Amino acid sequence: MLRLTTFAILACSTPVLAQEINVYSHRQPELIQPLVDAFTAETGIKVNVAFVDKGMAERLVAEGDRSPADLILTVDIARLMQVVEAGVTQPVQSDVLEANIPETLRDPGDQWFGLTSRARIVYASKERVAPGEITTYEDLASEKWKGRLCTRSGLSDYNIALLGAMIVHHDEAYATTWAAGLKANLAKKPDGGDRDQVKAIAAGECDIAIGNTYYIGQMLADPEQAPAAEMVNIVFPTFEGGGTHLNISGVAMTRSAPNRENALAFMEWLSGDTAQKIYAETNHEFPVKPGVERSALVASWGEFTADPIPLAEIAAQRAAALKIMETVNFDG
């Protein structure tokens, strides 16, 4: 089995091998391994993956044109935009990528491409929240949820993207009032990750929480966390006049890309049927390619209408969303 390897931060002086790709990844190695194995088995192209938890853009800037990285795999639109804005990516024109990935989930300038999507939804206590009681994101700021809401930090990329979408649907003034309303409804100070919010509901600390869909899938697969996950329902709110907020994991090609042709082949493969099915079955995410089915577990969560706002428009509101969270002192 191919093993994930960490390669040198700076490009070495040895010639680049013809049949390999170097990937910097924000995604956990265990989530990437099944894809790497399948691609290599099918094409014979070796994939070297370096897990980069923080400082992706800074690392690529420091390496410059000597960087060994061909591709960047990230979670969240904000991290994709960070590397693009740092000037360390290049546009990619591909009929395959355009055919497989909806326009709303890729960059208008062809700098980044969504590979999977996940909904930012509500975890709701099966015991204390009635079916149909939650309808919209706007309603989460209602006083009826006072002392009943849990969430991770308001400055997390996922919550900033959700707030950015609120700005796009309304305006900054409305989004500021909404964020203040969310803070007023908190049962406790924001902390931990999305799975911790599920555990807080199970412990009776709150009744609802904001989180990503796929974390429930991960928890249900873990015998220790499954009991907590089984105590919540997944609810798909919508924006007033819109749909359910989606975020993505995605890919971009680096500016240096020493193995460009192989890197493009991997990008296109990741958007195709085989990879999309692996994503669906192992990571509990939504395939981006139309026609690829969700896993049975994810399908059991029900249907929803995805928000039609392009992610590029939401990403453009990141600075404004950060300012709002600081203005309302959400984590304070």
Amino acid at 112: W
Instruction: For residue 35, give every residue at least 6 positions away whose Cβ sits within 8 Å of its Cβ, in sequence order, or none.
Output: 270, 275, 278, 279
| Residue 149, CA distances (Å) to 164, 193, 205, 209 in order | 20, 14, 9, 5
Which pLDDT score, from 0 to 100, does residue 238 have? 98
Contact 207, 125 (CB under 8 A): yes
| Residue 93, CA distances (Å) to 14, 70, 113, 193 in order | 29, 16, 11, 36
Q: What residues does 204 pair with on adjacent strands? A: none
Other beta carbons less than 10 A from residue 50's beta carbon: 18
* pLDDT, mean over the chain: 93
Which pLDDT score, from 0 to 100, does residue 13 have? 34
pLDDT tens digits for range 77-113? 888 999 999 999 999 999 999 999 999 999 999 999 9
Instruction: Give the Cα separation of 125 and 143 in Å (integer).
Output: 18
Which pLDDT score, from 0 to 100, does residue 87 have? 97
Which pLDDT score, from 0 to 100, does residue 255 have? 97
Contact 254, 67 (CB under 8 A): yes
Query: Residue 18: is its pLDDT beyond 80?
Result: no
Every domain of the chain and the residues it spans: 20-117+246-295, 119-245+306-327
Higher-pLDDT residue of 88 and 2 is 88
- pTM of the prediction? 0.88
What's the whole-number mean pLDDT along residues 117-127?
97
May I ask the CATH architecture of the domain 119-245+306-327?
3-Layer(aba) Sandwich (3.40)
Helix (H) or strand (E) holding 219: helix 213-220
pLDDT tens digits for range 127-179? 999 999 999 999 999 999 999 999 999 999 999 999 999 999 999 999 999 99
**Residue 70 burial (10 A CB sphere; 0-12, 13-18, 19+):** buried
Instruction: Give the Cα separation of 238 and 309 in Å (integer).
Output: 12
* Fold agreement between 20-117+246-295 and 119-245+306-327: yes
pLDDT tens digits for range 181-205? 999 999 999 999 999 999 999 999 9
Instruction: Give the Cα separation of 165 and 178 in Å (integer).
Output: 12
Is the alpha carbon torsion for 297, 300, 301, 304 positive or negative?
positive
Which pLDDT score, from 0 to 100, does residue 27 have? 83
Instruction: Give the Cα separation of 71 and 258 in Å (integer).
Output: 10
May I ask the CATH architecture of the domain 20-117+246-295?
3-Layer(aba) Sandwich (3.40)
What's the whole-number mean pLDDT along residues 36-55?
94
Contact 208, 122 (CB under 8 A): yes
Which pLDDT score, from 0 to 100, does residue 7 have? 39
Tell me what percent of the residues of the chain surpass a pLDDT of 70: 95
Helix (H) or strand (E) holding 31: helix 29-43
Range with lowest mean pLDDT among 6-20, 71-85, 187-201, 270-284: 6-20
Closest by alpha carbon to 83, among 59, 49, 47, 118? 59
